[in-house]
A and B are shown apart, each in its own frame.
Chain A
Amino acid sequence: MSITFVGDTVALTGRSLRHVTRSLDTVITTALMPIALLLLFVFVLGGAIRTGTDSYVAYLLPGILLITIATGVSYTAYRLFQDLQGGILERFRSMPIARSSVLWAHVLTSLVANVLSLVVVVAVGLLIGFRSSAGPLAWLAVLGILVLVTLALTWVAVIPGLTAKTVDGASAFSYPLILLPFISSAFVPTASMPGPVRWFAEHQPVTSIVNAIRDLLAVRPVGADLPVALLWCAGILVAAWAVATAVYRRRGA
């Protein structure tokens, strides 16, 4: 990692953070849909769901946080697409800067914006009765998992951002990501699902991530879910990073 890489990434991150701070509504809209789901499930549907725990908010919150991230990263695809369309990306590419700093700046910006949205969602969770006796270390571990998820999904978002033909195409990839938690242990225990669905739910990344966060916040011993969750995140991160970087390089000399 060279000095120019760090300096260039800092300069470009400052630039795209301004895009976030000058449209703070994106942080709010990112949080809006997950908050609506949270309220809907806790106050309307939750009463009919048997989770085997006494607080459905606590059961639900981890999945809602993942949905928040899935919504938030679509703004990265959007901003990258705009950069590409507006020609500013070409300008950066024709300049003597560390080339990968352009993508890293978008990824770091996504991290900041998503952490802000997550804070908003957790605050709403606290307002409607979410409580946790988890210590600072457990919270730090939860933050670490969420950061890792954000990094992985943002690198996924970079790919449509660079390849989409239309704005809608650039953000459409996030719909399946938002749906994935519904077929996991995020809303209802997987034991209630029919065979093949249950099998899918128990083997897709959301379930292990949600279970790990849930256990950490409930101060329960975390089982195999944590290593499985970390492996999923690391795997997606590396694969998406490799594809995104290759796509970025292929777009020019």
Chain B
Amino acid sequence: MSAAVAVRGLEKSFGDLHVLRGVDLEVAPGTVFALLGSNGAGKTTLVRILSTLLRMDGGEVAVAGFDVATRGADVRRSISLTGQFAAVDEVLTGRENLVLVARLRHLPDPGRVADELLARFSLTEAGRRRAGTYSGGMRRRLDIAMSLIGSPAVVVLDEPTTGLDPEARLEVWDAIRGLAAGGTTVLLTTQHLDEAEQLADRIAILHEGRIIVDGTLAELQALLPPTRVERVEQPPALEDVFLAVIGSRRAAGDPTGQEAR
């Protein structure tokens, strides 16, 4: 089966700034691929090229088998981008945002699609409120829900959990796992190593314009000498403490969480 996303020799400059200098990567259909990179590495630039928002200078990029340079319309039908900054209409309610996207994707019953997604992202209550009144986490969830309408084959998420509190982050992670379970190809960019660890089948690191490593978590770990195993009593991680004191369903429903670490 051909790759869901295939990038070969991708080059992109902004003036003198040579951001992408021959990027190669392949994402297999139905897998979760994490692209790691520090600030300014070019992650956003790469995903904007994938979703036809930006033109490349050189190389070949195909999404679901369609060349982004020549088959833009087909690419846009196959891919959906959740940008780094939530792009929702603040004047519309959450539900109206979803209905709008469903109509633009030409789906038969936009209202039902919207209601299902509101339920799935725990936004049913908030669905009647203007999106401008949402918290960052709610806005992000709405943003992701909007991207899933029409079941695109490839979902690209640009730093989907940046700026979210730990609980909202876990909710987004759940959504991504749900997508993967449903056979959607997911390409996500992140700066959080644990996020990649948790979610990705394959991880690549973008550095100085190139992919410097690309492999499974085990393959990446094998690059470093194994850490010595010691038996020490481990304090609970800050994240666990935080979730426990705010009474999150996660901490409550998973009392063995810290022993598993």
| Residues of A near any B CB (own CB < 8 A) | 4, 7-8, 11-12, 14-15, 18-19, 22-23, 86-88, 90-97, 252-253
Kindly report which residue of chain A lies nearest to residue B49, judged by CB atoms.
Answer: A253
Given A11-B100, A94-B53, A253-B72 in contact, is the A88-B105 Cβ separation under 8 Å? no
A87 touches B96 (CB 8 A): no
B88 touches A92 (CB 8 A): no
The CA of A63 and the CA of B121, in the complex, are separated in Å by 53
B104 at the interface (CB under 8 A from A): yes
B51 at the interface (CB under 8 A from A): yes
| Residues of B near any A CB (own CB < 8 A) | 49, 51-55, 68-69, 72-73, 76-77, 79-81, 83, 85-92, 96, 100-101, 103-106, 146
Kindly report which residue of chain A lies nearest to residue B77, judged by CB atoms.
Answer: A96
Q: How far is the CB of A150 from chain B (nearest CB, A)?
A: 22
Q: How far is the CB of A167 from chain B (nearest CB, A)?
A: 15
The CA of A94 and the CA of B154, in the complex, are separated in Å by 13
A-B contacts, 27 of them at CB < 8 A, read A7-B106, A8-B104, A12-B100, A15-B89, A86-B88, A86-B90, A87-B83, A87-B85, A88-B87, A90-B53, A90-B81, A91-B81, A92-B104, A93-B53, A94-B52, A94-B53, A94-B80, A95-B76, A95-B101, A96-B105, A252-B52, A252-B53, A252-B54, A253-B49, A253-B54, A253-B55, A253-B72
Q: Which residues of A contact B52 (CB under 8 A)?
A: 93-94, 252-253
B89 touches A94 (CB 8 A): no
B104 touches A11 (CB 8 A): yes
Q: Which residues of A contact B90 (CB under 8 A)?
A: 86
Q: How far is the CB of A17 from chain B (nearest CB, A)?
A: 11
Kindly report which residue of chain B lies nearest to residue A22, judged by CB atoms.
Answer: B91
Kindly report which residue of chain B lies nearest to residue A8, judged by CB atoms.
Answer: B104
Q: How far is the CB of A41 from chain B (nearest CB, A)?
A: 36
Q: How far is the CB of B145 from chain A (nearest CB, A)?
A: 13
Q: Which residues of B contact A97 (CB under 8 A)?
A: 104
The CA of A87 and the CA of B49, in the complex, are separated in Å by 16
**Interface core residue of A8, A23, A97 (most chain B CB under 10 Å):** A97
Given A7-B103, A11-B100 in contact, is the A91-B87 Cβ separation under 8 Å? yes
